[in-house]
Structure 1
Amino acid sequence: MDVRKLFRSFRYAWRGIVHAFGREQNFRFHVLAALIVTAAGWVTGLSTSEWLIVILLFGGVFALELVNTAIERVVDLVSREHHPLAGQAKDVAAGAVLAFAVASAVIGCIIFIPKWMNLLF
């Protein structure tokens, strides 16, 4: 195993994350949402299993957002001019992020709302 190659691959991956954070508004929005949910989870007192679910959802949204960004970049590289298939590829990738984000929000509501209801009533 080439340890230098391994560390280089981590450096490239980190560079991709930094790129997405610096240039992608939706990625920054998801990071902000994750920070808010983390604070809410800390205040609410989530169980270990609930934290595992929340962290898995964060990772899924972040990963899909990164894949979406990669698809957008490749499509832009291949075709600078507007093409219906290029637009569809971008739209479908964005739709995947949206679908997972909505599912994550629903799961978040299932975790948080009963706890908040118990605090209020």
Structure 2
Amino acid sequence: MGLKHSTTKSFKYAFCGLNTAIKNEPNFRIHLVFAFFAITLGLVLGLEILEWLFLTFTIFFVLILELLNTVLEAVVNTTSPEVNPYAKIAKDVSAACVLLAAGMSIIVGVALFLPKIILLLN
């Protein structure tokens, strides 16, 4: 009974975290909008299974890094509310991780979608 209870609580906390990110983090919502468009485009263009794997991995990678960036910012803001150069480095590097992942997602999106769009237009 204890395992079921703790598992249920874990899922509750996880969904609470997602809800918090959706409500409070504009960048997370932006990534979700792009993910929705990418998935819709994938459905329209008929991606193959391996292409879906690349797309979903890339989407989740960006979303996970955005969540981790939010966590790091919250922890840094809580533990170091005053201006601290090390806190700034941590927050800036964390944001850079998300930026690189978003850049990677653009490259993956172009590689997946552009050839199919070109075929459709020809």
TM range, smaller chain: over 0.9
Distance in 2 separating the partners of 1:18 and 1:93:
21
Residue 104 in structure 1 maps to residue 105 in structure 2 = yes
Question: What's the C-alpha RMSD, in Å, of the aligned pairs?
Answer: 1.0
Amino acid at match of 1:85: Y
Q: Percent identity at matched positions?
A: 39
Please report how far the alpha carbon of residue 58 of structure 1 lies from its aligned counterpart in structure 2 after TM superposition.
1.0
- CA deviations 1:12-66 (Å, max 9, x no partner) are 1111111111100100000000011111111111111111111111111111111
Please report how far the alpha carbon of residue 99 of structure 1 lies from its aligned counterpart in structure 2 after TM superposition.
0.5
SS in 2 for 1:96: helix
Match of 1:84 in 2: 85
Match of 1:113 in 2: 114
- Taking the TM superposition and a 5 Å limit, the aligned residue runs for 1:50-65 are 50-65=51-66
Match of 2:40 in 1: 39
Match of 1:19 in 2: 20
- CA deviations 1:90-121 (Å, max 9, x no partner) are 11111101111111110110111111111112
Runs of 4+ in 1 over 3 A off after TM superposition: none
SS in 2 for 1:2: helix
- Report the count of equivalent residues: 121
Match of 1:73 in 2: 74
Unaligned runs of 5+ in 2: none
Greater mean deviation of Cα atoms: 45-54 or 72-81 = 45-54
Distance in 2 separating the partners of 1:70 and 1:3:
27
| Alignment TM-score, normalising by the size of structure 1 | 0.96
Unaligned runs of 5+ in 1: none
